[in-house]
Amino acid sequence: MESFDVIVVGAGIVGLATAYHAQKSGARVLVLDKGATGYEASSRATGYLSLRGETPEECALAQVAEKLWDELDEELGYPTEWTQKGRLWAAIDDGELAELKATFQSFQATDIGFEFIDAKACRDLIPALTDKTLGGIYTPRAGHANPQRTTQAFAWAFLDRGGEIREHTPVLSVLEKGGAVHGVRTTRGDIHAGTVVLCAASHTTKLLEPLGIVFPLAPVRLEAFVTAPLPPLFEEAFIAHGLAVRQTRRGNIHVNGGPFEWIDVDVTGEPAKPTTPLVRNIAQRLVEVFPVLRKAQMLRSWAGIVDITPDTMTLIHSFDTPRGLVAASASGHGFGMAPAMGVAIADLALQGRTELPIGDLTLDRFASLPGDWRRAWNWQAGNINT
């Protein structure tokens, strides 16, 4: 049987960042993906790094990510289009303003720099904003990058260091014997490794079920589109009206938004596709926020699936039983977190421990989670989350 030190399941940005760091540390690493490299959420993301001010437990890891983003182009040797001009989270009606003020209170528990700014300050920052803007939270250290280029940069940097990626090779199960993993079963046969890392988004839950492990993730579908290139309007990451918006280096306005539809996934299922009514709804809200975009041309639209944990925080766990098994989920904000997640997961895979601040992000926090948590949360397939 073929043998590697580490097998990483999933060639998304989290799996590739993990594989890159493990390979760089001297391990022989194989990445397996059921489809093409970076074809799922990682290349469909909007591209923000959020500093996770609203969830203090993962804010420390987000701040590690921020430092790594600053050096990423040099580290990987390929461009990511990292742009650190801050994030504005604005309100354009009274309900959104009340929600934003509550969020601002939750930010107080963290040590990231942020401030509540009034309508005028919001429009001084982004003059194209609607005159209905009421105020916003400005976080100067947040940033954004190009998801396709960054995911590919991790893949190339991993390959440059001698790693191997096998596409169109679905993993069917994790092989375990005597309390330790010893490889994976794929559609093309078994492959041996003393360490298996699952970065397969929502599929990680399915791969762990036969081992008797509950890894609580709910898949949800998001929609996005880009406009044709426009003259420069703003460089900040921008959130308002249920939308996340950035302007790319080429001038495209890139937007994603809800409402989000909870779904179920299976290994052979087709990737998500956008629905016309929802894309129209997102476009309409975009014009409400940026009236200047009412004549913008939509270039293309797409949908993607993200994996959400019950408390919406990152989940990274190294298992004692079976030994040699590590699993992770980015809970819907993995693009920004991936540089730090990759270091932490590779540390766990190779040394069984990490210096990075993931103590509050393990599976232990879900020890008393009810078995029917998706029903209890109303996160079952077919339900909509606004």
Ligand X SMILES: Cc1cc2nc3c(=O)[nH]c(=O)nc-3n(C[C@H](O)[C@H](O)[C@H](O)COP(=O)(O)OP(=O)(O)OC[C@H]3O[C@@H](n4cnc5c(N)ncnc54)[C@H](O)[C@@H]3O)c2cc1C
- Least distance to ligand X, CB of residue 200, Å: 4
Cα separation of 6 and 28, whole Å?
6
Question: What burial class does residue 173 get, using C-beta atoms within 10 Å of its C-beta: 0-12 exposed, 13-18 middle, 19+ buried?
Answer: middle
* Residue 24 vs residues 18, 111, 341: alpha-carbon distances, Å: 10, 32, 15
- Least distance to ligand X, CB of residue 223, Å: 7
What are the φ and ψ backbone dihedral angles of 158, each rounded to 5 degrees?
-65, -45
For 204-224, letters b (16+ CB in 10 Å) and e give bbbbbeeeebebbbbbbbbbb
When the beta carbons of 132 and 271 are compared against ligand X, the nearer one is 271
Q: Closest residue to ligand X, Cβ-based?
A: 12
Tell me how crowded residue 53 is: count the other CB atoms within 10 A of its CB.
24
When the beta carbons of 41 and 92 are compared against ligand X, the nearer one is 41
- Least distance to ligand X, CB of residue 120, Å: 27
When the beta carbons of 182 and 333 are compared against ligand X, the nearer one is 333
Cα separation of 213 and 59, whole Å?
27
When the beta carbons of 200 and 358 are compared against ligand X, the nearer one is 200
Judge whether 161 and 24 are in contact, CB under 8 Å.
yes
For 308-334, letters b (16+ CB in 10 Å) and e give bbbbebbbbbbbeebbbbbbbbbbbbb
When the beta carbons of 52 and 119 are compared against ligand X, the nearer one is 52
When the beta carbons of 310 and 336 are compared against ligand X, the nearer one is 336
- Least distance to ligand X, CB of residue 78, Å: 17
When the beta carbons of 35 and 113 are compared against ligand X, the nearer one is 35
Which secondary-structure segment (H or E) carries 187? none
Interacting residues toward ligand X by CB under 6 A: 9-15, 32-35, 39-42, 44-48, 170-171, 199-201, 203, 222, 224, 244, 256, 267, 304, 306, 330, 332-336
Cα separation of 19 and 258, whole Å?
32
- Least distance to ligand X, CB of residue 201, Å: 4
- Least distance to ligand X, CB of residue 11, Å: 5
Q: Scanning the structure block, which residue is given the tokens 């959104």?
A: 96
When the beta carbons of 63 and 119 are compared against ligand X, the nearer one is 63
When the beta carbons of 161 and 166 are compared against ligand X, the nearer one is 166
Token pair belonging to 186: 């794929």
- Least distance to ligand X, CB of residue 304, Å: 3
- Least distance to ligand X, CB of residue 43, Å: 7
Task: Say which DSSP state 372 is in.
Answer: T
End-to-end Cα separation, the chain, in angstroms: 48
Cα separation of 303 and 151, whole Å?
17
C-alpha 49: how far from chain center: 9
- Least distance to ligand X, CB of residue 386, Å: 16
- Least distance to ligand X, CB of residue 86, Å: 14
* Residue 136, helix vs strand vs coil: strand
Cα separation of 324 and 346, whole Å?
12
When the beta carbons of 266 and 372 are compared against ligand X, the nearer one is 266
